[in-house]
Amino acid sequence: GIQVEQSPPDLILQEGANSTLRCNFSDSVNNLQWFHQNPWGQLINLFYIPSGTKQNGRLSATTVATERYSLLYISSSQTTDSGVYFCAVERGGPGAGSYQLTFGKGTKLSVIP
Amino acid sequence: DTEVTQTPKHLVMGMTNKKSLKCEQHMGHRAMYWYKQKAKKPPELMFVYSYEKLSINESVPSRFSPECPNSSLLNLHLHALQPEDSALYLCASSRGQGGTGELFFGEGSRLTVL
């Protein structure tokens, strides 16, 4: 199956700092999503971004599908950004449309005041 | 606020109990999912319903029994669970047109089996 690697596994930031989270994947994809899981367990959909660049407030994401990676940028971090950030992909090409997202292991972000 | 609603948010049950987790969405989505998440791990897919038909069962033990009464509702019936089944159970939905598409999760039901 498709492999998804996220880096770094853990990240501690001072409030106000910027950060970049990376997601590498091993095969072509037709679906890539970034999620934020808050400390209460809720998974919040940040971006649906199989290719290209999107921005939403202080967050932006870029997926370079041909090079099999995606980046999530967090600017001017706030304590409420703390939690785990997951990248999830679904394989494209033959056999696509499987309804099976593969999650990376996540990046745990802690933003300290 | 999430548009996928799960109840209950917390559940404690004994190994001989029968209980159910419920999930509801009103986004007109035609695919609904159950995921299981253990602490410090990513979510793991359990079941997928597409157009109210079970399309994926990821070799889940029969003590977990899914049900999709209509396109808006998804249940997970629990019977004779084991302590290792304690986890966060997440419901999700998507448009369901030829693949997962954009997936939206509920807040989860945190299950403890004693």
The DSSP bridge partners found for residue B53 are B50
Nearest by CB to residue A31, choosing from B33, B101, B108, is B101
Q: Do B100 and A90 touch (CB under 8 A)?
A: yes
Q: What residues of B are in contact with residue A45 (Cβ under 8 Å)?
A: 102-105
| CB within 8 Å of A7: residues ≥ 6 apart | A21, A22, A24, A107
Report residue B67 as tokens: 């049900």
> Does residue A24 register a pLDDT over 70?
yes
Cross-chain CB nearest to A106 (options B33, B42, B45)? B42
Q: Are A56 and A49 in contact (CB under 8 A)?
A: no
Q: Nearest Cα to B83, choosing from B12, B32, B23, B4?
A: B12
Amino acid sitting at position A55: Q
Q: Give B18→chain A minimum CA distance, Å.
A: 24
Q: Residue A45 is nearest to which of B33, B88, B102, comparing CB atoms?
A: B102
Contact residues for A67 (Cβ-Cβ < 8 A; gap 6+): none
Q: Is A40 on the interface with B (CB under 8 A)?
A: yes
**Nearest residue of B to residue A84 by CA position?**
B40
Longest dimension (CA), chain B: 40
The answer to whether the Cβ–Cβ distance between A100 and B102 falls below 8 Å is no
Q: What is the pLDDT of residue A91?
A: 86
Q: Do B102 and A48 touch (CB under 8 A)?
A: yes
- A6-20, A57-71, A91-105, B13-27: the lowest-pLDDT one: A91-105
Question: pLDDT at residue B2 above 70?
Answer: no
Contacts of B45 in chain A (CB under 8 A): 100-101
Mean pLDDT rounded to a whole number for chain A: 94
Q: How many C-beta atoms surround the C-beta of residue B64 within 10 A? A: 19
DSSP 8-state assignment for residue B84: G
Instruction: Give strand pairing partners of A56.
Output: A59
Express as a percent the part of chain B with pLDDT over 90: 84
CA-nearest residue to A33 within chain B is B102
